[in-house]
Structure 1
């Protein structure tokens, strides 16, 4: 605690000696809002109190953390589990009114020690309040805050006990489900006893008896001692007292009647049971009532013990429940995953069982109208609290120790997506703005979430902020361009890619990547091959050895009108052959040009001319034999894939000896998959030569070029 708020406490200590500096310090706090995760005054977080958690320091104990969940204080979910004190800040003032009052009192009489003490106590309390708004799962911080109130509030005032009780309620609702929340519950129980309200003390113990905690058995022992030391009329609620008293009195009458019958004694007519003073119970009756109450509580205790037993091994694997910058070991990470899996499965099972019980009860009521909801109420009373709150609470506990692990934030978000969009937004805000500001994946997931739910402005803001904070990530810029394209803002999408092209000229690989994306946008969506061609040609001036640029430029030329693209295609191929590309790429581009003239040229001379140039290129690059062997391998695979044998395929493969005439263009020196990765070019020769067609009665291999080109 001291380390967490050391800077703040130091600034307020200085206030006692230099009140002018302290006034400025508190003014900064009021103006800037919340503290940052180190306890220092920082930039305003702009986060709602119930939606935000900051990282607890390593010095704090195991109970420290954050949550947005509620506990079993009521059967209905709580929308806000912690209510901060009402805002006393006057309109038009930068500081709270209470601070102004205490400050003026100390300033008017600087030698009055009590005035300074009151001011310092107020300041310490306001730090505590801000801490609890940011870390509502911290059991230590709640206990510290409650003890601070107990030491400063005048308990003789009627509103003081009410305020303390409300803070206790906020505390157990916020952190009461923690496996190590025993001290908080014990403090609440002892305080209620000191107030002399035994019914409230019993109610506190009744609630904690349904919570699986580390010291669950001590709570039951405290309940027994508390019940034995108190009269049932004072300790039990009026409803339970009347119910148990009537049951025990009836059992007393039955037992006495049976005893009298066994002895053969009969009471004279008109003689009744020994009377007791009005409004009092006999010691025997009170003891019977205590025993009956314990019988009822024992059912709850056994259920809770079973729940603790289920969770004990999971809790035992959690060696570091607090936050630390050091990585967690794999055993603890697996333990958190297993714990979450189990808790979610438990919720599903309990939900199914509950629905079955409700259906059964409804059926009983339909069959017998006299059936009431009493059995159902008893079932709910004896059932340990294990609903959606517990799953959320465990996620929040997990995100304390695992705050830097994106996978747990993603799991929590996926769980909440079926419940509430606003809750998912709150978790995304905490994850992205506080814990994972430099993890791009979860920011992009957040933008996708906002776009999916129709908030395009927020999706743009998230991606713009990520692009600004982590410049150079191509996937982020592409996400921004894609978002604008889906929103119908094609010009804005083009502008984003054009900006990326301009900014990446000093990085040739990245520049080529953005240029290809921009060219495809012009070609596919803008229907403007001229602009696409211009972008790629400019990129080639910077990166002439980039094979992907040459391939995409060829695609642009091939997509143009046939009558106007023949010359452009050949120019593109020629440019590629003169560029410092690998032989592999040159042969690929040359073959693609050959295929184009085969399919679209109106002159046989042009076809033969391109073919001869292609054959010459293969010989110059020394790839004839290797490519022929590659073609054999490809045809063998193709034959196997169609149910043929490898031997059958090899019988029909043309000879690979360089002296034997080849009557077909050789296949490209790359596999089908590799050509697909290069833009879908090449690999066409497998369509020209199909060994499996021999099964249709062809005597020779079907050769697309057989009898078409002269031998080479």
Structure 2
């Protein structure tokens, strides 16, 4: 598989494939191979094997992953450097501390006077392990990939450095800096011009639309100038002048200057040139015929007018994007929070591009946005939904978005995105995978009601109401769920029976069966009371309804162990019922409760 294909996959398993290639290459050179990636905390069962990756990111909120990274850091043994060992120990104790990692990397780079070919095998091993562990945790920090590639260049040369760059651009496909550095390395070390040019073309597909991509395009232009391929250079500049970017005018000037020295057939399409010549011929019929030189001058003039229109359009598109680009203060990833004003700007920028309707630019902006906002699930949600709206033929792209967000970036403590991923897989017929996603979430967030209810509803949809009920029963018998979670599950079970089967008695029996076990569950008693209040009634059966509602309220006040504020709120709900639906004696009970509850 080519680098272009790997990066375009943009899925959670792409980095592992590159890691394996890097490991194999090192083994061929009798050097230390990459350490294995940490366990993937998001998927389990057979599907986790398909998504293992060394490019995990865990935000500071995501505590379940900390243990996994402590195990990862444990693979970095001590060496005879007291200061380095101390820093390594600090990382081991708190793998979520970015400052500790930075200090460890600086100390690693300084071992034995700096990394290089003369470094000992032990130090080289340590350096690789530290970089691999750090970039496994923070794969979007492009500057550290660059430092890693530079270190490998100093240790083993260009081939080893290129392997790091391949992993880097697969981790951050939209990084102008990484692609520019990678292409620069290739320019200086690869004797095959076509191979270098192919890498530039690949890079252009991923970063060429960036508003600040001028450093990359300058490097590409430098390469073609060095190769003295003016025919390819004019094509390159013609491609660039269509792109709205920060320094668009400079490229148009370069194109105009070079175009004056190039053959006409390199400056426009065959159709455009043919149309221009026809218009000139038609004009000649009205007067004196022009010479060949005059015709060529006229053709060039008309072609320049076409290019001027292109320039005007590019200028307009640049100006329309400028306000959004100017508000992006942090286009790179960091573990700290982004200012709300920047989040608002990203939302507006995405709105703008979606209204413009250029699918390629929309997709590019989402990828750019998700570097800076990787820890914010709202943008992953938005990207997945937009991609899904483009058609069923993009299902694999949607799947990769969910995989990347779930396996790499969205904090474990925010389960909604992974629930949406399970829903997506269920919708595509991957029921087993959807179940595995839920199961793995529950490993990290045991007792999470949102996940449990979503899982129960999956069973209801694919296997029927009884399967969902059985799931609730199993969870109520589980030791992993506390009394508060179990109280909520009872309420959800009862609601399922009532809404699916329409049997109020069967639904009530569930509440009655578990009420003595859920005395501390606020959610249980709220839903028990609301259930009785919400049942359909009539004048003939309202007295029976009153007895049941009154009993629930009495048990809630006298038996349940609820916070006083909850008891007060529920009593207020019951008092409203007395006023609106109570009988002749209800007002006496209302006045008594008013004195007791509000007095």
Q: Compute the TM-score of the two structures, normalised by the length of structure 1.
A: 0.54
Distance 1:490 1:117, change over 3 A: same
* 1:212 equivalent in alignment to 2:262: no
**1:354-397 alpha-carbon deviations (Å, 9 max, x no partner):** xxxxxxxxxxxxxxxxxxxxxxxxxxxxxxxxx21111111211
Whether the 8 Å contact between 1:60 and 1:322 is mirrored in structure 2 is: no
* 1:428 equivalent in alignment to 2:402: yes
Distance 1:243 1:335, change over 3 A: same
Whether the 8 Å contact between 1:522 and 1:531 is mirrored in structure 2 is: yes
Whether the 8 Å contact between 1:508 and 1:542 is mirrored in structure 2 is: yes
Match of 1:344 among 351, 354, 371: 354
Whether the 8 Å contact between 1:505 and 1:511 is mirrored in structure 2 is: no
Whether the 8 Å contact between 1:36 and 1:43 is mirrored in structure 2 is: no
Distance 1:513 1:392, change over 3 A: same
More helix, by proportion: 2
* CA drift at 1:25: 4.0
Unaligned runs of 5+ in 2: 1-18, 39-49, 58-129, 147-152, 592-599
Partners of 1:525 and 1:167 in 2: how far apart? 58
Partner of residue 619, structure 1: none
* CA drift at 1:232: 2.4
Distance 1:291 1:578, change over 3 A: closer
* 1:161 equivalent in alignment to 2:171: no
* 1:321 equivalent in alignment to 2:331: yes
Distance 1:456 1:134, change over 3 A: same
Distance 1:255 1:188, change over 3 A: farther
Partners of 1:539 and 1:343 in 2: how far apart? 54
Distance 1:483 1:43, change over 3 A: farther
Distance 1:460 1:187, change over 3 A: same
* CA drift at 1:128: 1.4
* CA drift at 1:216: 0.3
Partners of 1:27 and 1:543 in 2: how far apart? 48
Partners of 1:571 and 1:133 in 2: how far apart? 64
Match of 1:406 among 377, 392, 398: 377
Partners of 2:56 and 2:577 in 1: how far apart? 64
* 1:394 equivalent in alignment to 2:365: yes
* CA drift at 1:213: 0.7
Distance 1:423 1:25, change over 3 A: closer
* 1:462 equivalent in alignment to 2:437: yes
Distance 1:296 1:54, change over 3 A: farther
* 1:173 equivalent in alignment to 2:152: no
* 1:486 equivalent in alignment to 2:461: yes
Whether the 8 Å contact between 1:323 and 1:403 is mirrored in structure 2 is: yes
Partner of residue 333, structure 1: 343
Higher relative contact order (CA 8 A, sep 6+): 2
Partners of 2:361 and 2:220 in 1: how far apart? 21
Whether the 8 Å contact between 2:265 and 2:273 is mirrored in structure 1 is: no
Match of 1:130 among 167, 170, 180: 167
* CA drift at 1:254: 8.0
- Greater Cα radius of gyration, structure 1 or 2: 1
* 1:298 equivalent in alignment to 2:311: no
* CA drift at 1:220: 0.7
* CA drift at 1:307: 0.9
Partners of 1:151 and 1:520 in 2: how far apart? 68
Whether the 8 Å contact between 2:142 and 2:178 is mirrored in structure 1 is: no
Partners of 1:124 and 1:322 in 2: how far apart? 22
Whether the 8 Å contact between 1:515 and 1:536 is mirrored in structure 2 is: no
Partners of 2:550 and 2:330 in 1: how far apart? 66
Partners of 2:377 and 2:194 in 1: how far apart? 42
**1:117-147 alpha-carbon deviations (Å, 9 max, x no partner):** 9963222212212222232211122122212
* 1:511 equivalent in alignment to 2:432: no
* CA drift at 1:300: 0.7
Whether the 8 Å contact between 2:324 and 2:349 is mirrored in structure 1 is: yes
Distance 1:667 1:301, change over 3 A: farther
* CA drift at 1:308: 0.9
Partner of residue 543, structure 1: 519
* 1:580 equivalent in alignment to 2:590: no
Whether the 8 Å contact between 2:380 and 2:405 is mirrored in structure 1 is: yes
Whether the 8 Å contact between 1:484 and 1:493 is mirrored in structure 2 is: yes
**1:453-489 alpha-carbon deviations (Å, 9 max, x no partner):** 4332232222222122111211211111121122225
* CA drift at 1:181: 1.0
Whether the 8 Å contact between 1:175 and 1:181 is mirrored in structure 2 is: yes
**1:642-682 alpha-carbon deviations (Å, 9 max, x no partner):** xxxxxxxxxxx9xxxxxxxx964437639xxxxxxxxxxxx
Partner of residue 89, structure 2: none
Partner of residue 415, structure 1: 386
* 1:146 equivalent in alignment to 2:189: no
Distance 1:447 1:416, change over 3 A: same
Distance 1:167 1:448, change over 3 A: same
What do you get for the CA RMSD once the two structures are aligned? 5.2
Whether the 8 Å contact between 1:519 and 1:535 is mirrored in structure 2 is: yes
Question: Greater shift after overlay, 206-215 or 540-549?
Answer: 540-549
Partners of 1:498 and 1:225 in 2: how far apart? 77
Whether the 8 Å contact between 1:209 and 1:300 is mirrored in structure 2 is: yes
Partner of residue 231, structure 2: 199
Partners of 1:33 and 1:549 in 2: how far apart? 41
Partners of 1:575 and 1:117 in 2: how far apart? 77
Distance 1:43 1:455, change over 3 A: farther
* CA drift at 1:201: 1.1
* CA drift at 1:298: 0.8
Q: Compute the TM-score of the two structures, normalised by the length of structure 2.
A: 0.63
Distance 1:286 1:198, change over 3 A: farther
Distance 1:524 1:252, change over 3 A: closer
* 1:502 equivalent in alignment to 2:477: yes
Whether the 8 Å contact between 1:137 and 1:174 is mirrored in structure 2 is: yes
Map residues 10-409 of structure 1 onto 2, 5 A cutoff: 20=30, 22-25=31-34, 35-36=54-55, 40-41=131-132, 55-57=139-141, 59=143, 120-154=157-191, 160-228=192-260, 230-232=261-263, 235-236=266-267, 239=270, 243=274, 246=277, 257=288, 289-347=299-357, 387-409=358-380
Whether the 8 Å contact between 2:225 and 2:233 is mirrored in structure 1 is: yes
